[in-house]
Amino acid sequence: MEKQPTSSELEILNVLWEKESATVREVFEVISASKSITYTTVLKLMQIMTEKGLVERDEQGKAHLYRAAIPQTETQKGLVKDLLEKVFRGSAMQLVQHLLEAKKASPEEMKEIRRMIERAEKEAKNE
């Protein structure tokens, strides 16, 4: 992924991924419910995000509708890959170790993590 979103842009993207598309007003209402931000700040961020290719704008109606240009999973993978390289020098083991130390996983999450590891091991053997 070429352009990594900032934390403010990620907040906007999370709203757009959840709603699929939204006006600036709708995004502002969701974000302003949990933090102090002005409508014009959200508008400016969304204009910048359009220029960066992070969101697309539908200008057909009176109120412009925005939607994320990149799927949530692709953005998440790009951010994790970037974190892995910048912080952990490519070590997946260190990333997982710090993740498990920082936030305890539930028993259900641990079972799913084990299943993911088993799938990855099988795929690696088949390559």
pLDDT tens digits for range 79-94:
999 999 999 999 988 9
Supply the DSSP string of 40-101, one letter for each residue. Answer: HHHHHHHHHHHHHTSEEEE-SSSSPEEEESS-HHHHHHHHHHHHHHHHHTT-HHHHHHHHHH
Helix, strand or coil, per DSSP, at residue 22: strand
pLDDT value of position 105: 87
pLDDT reading at 1 higher than 60 = no
* pTM given for the model: 0.79
pLDDT value of position 4: 84
Cα 97 to Cα 95: distance, rounded to the nearest angstrom: 5
Of the chain, the end-to-end C-alpha distance in Å amounts to 25
Q: Percentage of the chain surpassing pLDDT 70?
A: 98
